Structure formats: structure tokens, C-alpha cells
Amino acid sequence: MKYLQQLVKGGAALVAVLLSACQPASGDLPLRYSQSLSPSELPVYRLAVYPLYNPRLLAAAYQPLVDHLNTQLPAARLELEASRDYPSFENKYTLREPAFLLPNPWQTLQAMAHGYRVIAMAGDPKDFRGLVVVRRDSGIKVPSDLKGKAVSYPAPTALAACVMPQYFLHTQGIDVQHDLQNLFVGSQESAIMNVYLGQTAAGATSPPPWRLFQRDHPQEAGQLQVMWETEPLANNSVMVRDDVPEQVWQPVLANLLALSHTTAGQAVLAGMSIDRFRTADQHSYEVVARYVRDFELAVRPIESR
């Protein structure tokens, strides 16, 4: 047995010698050392997107963005984080858990108080509007037709899909706290589907989820119509936590701004129903702070439930 082991070792050594003889001289083949980490070794930073869609639809819309960014980032890797509802998302930035956020404008103001800052705006500000959807056969023609009826929203902190429609109805003489049955159903898709199913007389949403609903459920969408829409406001933001290194967030920002310049990037944007990312900062959301202040004085406090 010992003789067999020695024979195997000897054969391995002979093979090594023969292979080395077949290699170029050391001066012809310089040693190469990798200067980059493998994807599994890169630090991971989470991107949390507010639940304008349910988790399945949100992943379908935003995972391609994360995948694209990960091919471009030299020193970090991003992971998409969904939330089951608005309060769950809002709790995450209160605890400063995600490194990056994509919140709605009201949540943007709240996250500023927890050490997040704005680096970009996601989409055209003119596309950030509230929509009120009804069934075509509902007979609803004017806002007063909603008195005593149920209206569905994703959450009380949904700016475009709750606050802005409620403010519109307030300006039309509706006491939204007492004239309506306000139902908070978790997502914009659910708010729309409640109208289709006849469980609510109207539902509040915003343009991107409405476009997605029309694309994915054309038959159901055909039985609905947008009855009213609000004036636009600043769109959703992209935010970074204040302790994320600049060498991490700067490439993220640069690649977000560059998406609209390539065919691949345009496909990613189309999946999110966003035309492009724009440069923005804290001052870009001062108009939202004024709007929220006026709404809370006239209608109700904005708070999670």
C-alpha cells in the first residue's frame, strides 16, 4: 500500500514537471492579481421601494432596475426590498434600515427627519397626480354623488392615491371624514379592483398603477373610467441614508440618470412606467411640504394607521 502511495505521488510530481516545461518563461507570462471583488464579496445595500404595487408586481417592475444597476456598480451590490403595506415601509426608514429609498413625496419629507437625503426624482412631476376611478355603469357624475358611499385607497399616507384625491373632493364640497366611507386596502391595484368588483363606489390611484392595471387587466379596466384627476405635484424621490459612502451612492445616481440614454435602460424605465430619473434635492420637495401643511389644516392629519 505504501509503495502504491509513493507511486501516485511520484506520478503527480512528474506530471507537474512536464506541465511546467510546457509553459512560457516567467518573464513571458506575468502574474495577474484580481483588483475586484466577486459579487458575493461586495457589500450589500438595500433599496426599499414604497408599495405602490403589491410585492409581486413591485418585484416585476423594479427588479430589472436593480439587476441593471448591479452590472454597473464597481464597489457594491443592491438588493430590492418590498413591503407588504405602507406602514411597514414607513417603519423601515424610521428605523434607518434600508440604505436607499424610493418613497412617495410625503414619505420623502418624513425620511428627511431620519437622516435620508434626496439625490434624484423618479419620473416626470407632471405624472404625479391623483386619479379617482369609478365604474362606467355607476351613474356617478359629480363629486356629490359619492356622499354616503365607500371609496377605496391604498393607505392614508398615499399622497397621489389618497391625500390629493381627498383634497380635490374637499374643494368640491365633500367632507371626506364624514360624507364618505374611507377604506384603506393596502395597494393601488386593490383600490382599483375594489371598484371593479363593486365593493366601493370609487377608488383613488395614480397614473403608473392605472397604466399597469390597464395593461395587465384590459377587460376589467374597460369597465372603469377616470372620473376626476388632480393637479400634479413633485414625483417620488430617490433617497440615500446619510452614512452610505459617496463612492457607493454616486455611481448609483450616475447610472439612474443615464438610464434614458440607452436602449437597455429605456426598457428598464418602461417596466417601471417612468420616463427618466431627474436630478433633485431636498429643496425640490418644499412644494410638497406646503401642500401637506395646507391639506392638514383643511382636511385631516396625514398619519399611518
Q: What is the pLDDT of residues 123-170, one digit of tens each?
A: 999 999 999 999 999 999 999 999 999 999 999 999 999 999 999 999
Task: Say whether both 119 and 239 belong to one domain.
Answer: yes
d(CA 238, CA 66): 13
pLDDT value of position 188: 95
Q: Report pLDDT digits (tens) over 223-263.
A: 999 999 999 999 999 999 999 999 999 999 999 999 999 99
The answer as to whether 45 is a domain residue is yes
The answer as to whether 5 is a domain residue is no
Q: Report pLDDT digits (tens) over 114-126.
A: 999 999 999 999 9
Structural domain including 164 reads 131-229
Task: Say whether both 260 and 120 belong to one domain.
Answer: yes
Phi and psi angles of residue 128, each rounded to the nearest 5 degrees, phi first: -95, 90
pLDDT value of position 274: 94
* pLDDT > 80? residue 6: no
pLDDT interval class at 304 (50, 70, 90): low
Task: Say whether both 294 and 146 belong to one domain.
Answer: no
pLDDT value of position 54: 87
Task: Say whether both 156 and 215 belong to one domain.
Answer: yes
Q: Give the number of C-alpha atoms closer than 13 A to the C-alpha of residue 230, restricted to the C-beta side.
A: 28
Task: Say whether both 135 and 106 belong to one domain.
Answer: no
Q: Report pLDDT digits (tens) over 28-78.
A: 333 333 344 456 689 999 999 999 888 899 999 999 999 999 999 989 999
CATH code for position 213 = 3.40.190.10
Q: Using CA atoms in the order 96, 99, 102, 107, what is the torsion angle rounded to 10 degrees? A: 20
Q: Using CA atoms in the order 238, 276, 258, 39, what is the torsion angle rounded to 10 degrees? A: 50
* pLDDT > 50? residue 287: yes
Task: Say whether both 215 and 155 belong to one domain.
Answer: yes
The answer as to whether 8 is a domain residue is no
Task: Say whether both 99 and 146 belong to one domain.
Answer: no
Cβ-in-10-Å burial (0-12, 13-18, 19+) of 263 comes to exposed
